């Protein structure tokens, strides 16, 4: 079954919102009978996955660098055009292993406007994440802000390709070279996205992906580090497997970062259908774009049409012109069973332990704070179609008329 044939559980009620009385928040039935989630998984052919699963059971090789894990690594490396793919059990461990393999210590510069795992992967290893501000237009690290945060203790820069739009790769590389810092990327959002026509994966010393269920490309849970550096790749392979270089031969301190065969099976299944997932996401994005284009106070985050993107994130910025606050929008949508999300609010610097360690970090992060306060992410994915998107958009358009804002 193709993902586009998959059952659509979030049935649209067909409701029209004409007045405040039609809103679920005021007691009317919701727009959708089932919740419409942000990050609902993209799932490829069930039959292909089940065949992989049957093969795994027959082989009785469930983990420890099995044939499907190896195949997944080969196929990802080939797809991304990189020398090495080291598959992992999740994106957080992928980040942690990459950070350790690069020998980062002291302070590492990161955005605060990211999922907290980016900062935690450093803190977990007693490396201080130093939060630099973002560009309010791109939502990615601002190279000038990065420069301002460099101290004698800085050893690296950990950029994030937020929403699948590449971080400023070239200016960050120039800063890293000038100051002798290691540059790596958290590419968790960036699978199948390009920069300068090259797929994300080959930039910096290495890039870490998450294949979590909510990501564009998922393996239930999973992740990988990709790199063109042979020595770094070898180190990460050892680290991922307790430092084992062969039977009874431990030559390195390591952890357990291995991907299971069943996760690799899901990865291989989905890898074969990336184009379909992109097509479904792009169609949803285009419908949102049409539906919301003339709504004053709402701005849909644009993707660079010269680059490839996975369109996994439908990001809307709400400004003062809109008659309802961002938080009120989220509340109204949730009542309709549309589980829109405030993303990366309130910023890592406002989460623990960072908030306690650096209570004044916000002073250096005005753009992070402003963006985190105005972003709402709408549901998309291959289990949604244009009727769902129109249902979501209808609520937003109704809210924009002001009288329903309360």
Phi-psi group of 217: left, alpha or beta (phi > 0 → left; psi -120 to 50 → alpha; rest → beta): beta
One DSSP character per residue, 217-259 reads: S--SS-EEEEES-HHHHHHHHHHHBTTEEETTEE-S---B-PP
CA of 131: how far to CAs of 96, 125, 158, 246, in Å? 18, 16, 10, 40
Q: Which residues bind ligand PLP (CB under 6 A)?
A: 90-92, 114-115, 117-118, 160, 186, 188-189, 210, 212, 223
In the complex with ligand PLP, the residue whose CB is nearer, 215 or 388, is 215
Taking the complex as a whole, how short is the minimal distance between the CB of residue 223 and ligand PLP, in angstroms?
Answer: 5
Question: Taking the complex as a whole, how short is the minimal distance between the CB of residue 209 and ligand PLP, in angstroms?
Answer: 8
What separation, in Å, do the N-terminal and C-terminal C-alpha atoms of the chain show? 44
> Which residues touch 40 (CB under 8 Å, ≥6 apart)?
214, 379, 381, 383, 384
Return left, alpha or beta for 381; rule: phi > 0 is left, psi -120 to 50 is alpha, else beta: left
Tell me whether residue 15 or residue 120 sits nearer to ligand PLP (CB atom): 120
- What is the spatial distance between Cα 4 and Cα 296, in angstroms, rounded to a whole number? 33
- Residue 40, helix vs strand vs coil: coil
Q: How far is the CB of 115 from ligand PLP (least distance, A)?
A: 4
- Minimum distance of ligand PLP from residue 121's CB (angstroms): 7
Residue 123 has phi, psi (to 5 degrees) of -55, -35
Closest to ligand PLP by CB, 97 or 404 = 97
Q: What are phi and psi of 46, to 5 degrees?
A: -60, -40
Residue nearest to ligand PLP (CB): 91
Cβ distance to ligand PLP smaller for residue 85 or 292: 85
**Distance of closest approach, residue 214 Cβ to ligand PLP, in angstroms:** 7
Nearer to ligand PLP, 322 or 344 (CB): 344
**Rounded Cα distance, 214 and 253, in Å:** 31
State how far the Cα of 94 lies from the Cα of 86, in Å rounded to an integer.
Answer: 9
Q: How far is the CB of 405 from ligand PLP (least distance, A)?
A: 31
| Shortest reach from residue 186's CB to ligand PLP, in Å | 5
The neighbouring-strand residues paired with 36 are 338
Which CB sits closer to ligand PLP, 30 or 168?
Answer: 168
CA distances from 264 to 53, 73, 365 (A): 10, 9, 39
Q: Rounded to the nearest whole angstrom, what is the least distance from the CB of residue 43 to ligand PLP in the complex?
A: 17
Q: Which is nearer to ligand PLP, 115 or 195 (CB)?
A: 115
Q: Which is nearer to ligand PLP, 133 or 221 (by Cβ)?
A: 221
Least Cβ distance, residue 321 to ligand PLP (angstroms): 30
Nearer to ligand PLP, 41 or 91 (CB): 91
B/e letters for 345-368, b = 16+ CB within 10 Å, e = fewer, are bebbbbeeebeeebeebbebbebb
């Amino acid at each position: 079954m193709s993902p586009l044939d998959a059952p659509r559980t979030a049935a649209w009620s067909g409701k029209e919102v004409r007045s405040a009385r039609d809103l679920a928040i005021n007691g009317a039935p919701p727009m959708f009978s089932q919740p419409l989630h942000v990050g609902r998984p993209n799932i490829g052919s069930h039959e292909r996955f089940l065949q992989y699963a049957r093969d795994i059971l027959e082989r009785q090789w469930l983990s420890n660098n099995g044939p499907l894990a190896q195949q997944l690594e080969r196929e990802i490396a080939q797809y991304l055009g990189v020398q090495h793919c080291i598959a992992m059990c999740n994106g957080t461990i992928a980040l942690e292993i990459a950070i350790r393999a690069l020998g980062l210590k002291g302070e590492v510069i990161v955005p605060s406007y990211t999922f907290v795992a980016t900062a935690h992967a450093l803190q977990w290893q007693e490396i201080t994440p130093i939060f630099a501000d973002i560009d309010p237009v791109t939502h990615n690290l601002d190279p000038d802000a990065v420069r301002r945060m460099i101290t004698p203790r800085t050893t690296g820069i950990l950029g994030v390709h937020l929403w699948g739009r590449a971080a400023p790769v070239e200016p960050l590389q120039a800063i890293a070279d000038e100051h002798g810092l290691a540059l790596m990327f958290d590419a968790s959002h960036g699978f199948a996205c390009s920069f300068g026509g090259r797929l994300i994966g080959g930039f910096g010393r290495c890039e870490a992906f998450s294949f979590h269920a909510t990501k564009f490309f998922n393996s239930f849970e999973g992740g990988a580090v990709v790199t063109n550096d042979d020595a770094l790749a070898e180190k990460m392979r050892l680290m991922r497997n307790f430092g084992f270089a062969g039977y009874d031969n431990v030559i390195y301190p390591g952890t357990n970062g291995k991907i299971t065969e069943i996760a690799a099976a899901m990865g291989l299944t989905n890898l074969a259908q990336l184009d379909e997932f992109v097509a479904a996401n792009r169609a949803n994005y285009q419908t949102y774009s049409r539906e919301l284009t003339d709504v004053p106070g709402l701005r849909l985050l644009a993707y660079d049409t010269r680059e490839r993107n996975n369109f996994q994130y439908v990001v809307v910025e709400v400004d003062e012109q809109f008659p309802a606050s961002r938080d009120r929008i989220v509340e109204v949508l949730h009542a309709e069973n549309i589980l829109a999300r405030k993303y990366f609010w309130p910023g890592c610097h406002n989460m623990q332990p960072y908030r306690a360690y650096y209570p004044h970090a916000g002073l250096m992060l005005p753009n992070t704070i402003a963006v985190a306060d105005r972003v709402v992410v709408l549901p998309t994915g291959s289990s949604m179609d244009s009727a769902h998107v129109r249902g979501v958009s209808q609520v937003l358009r109704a809210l924009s008329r002001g009288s329903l804002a309360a």
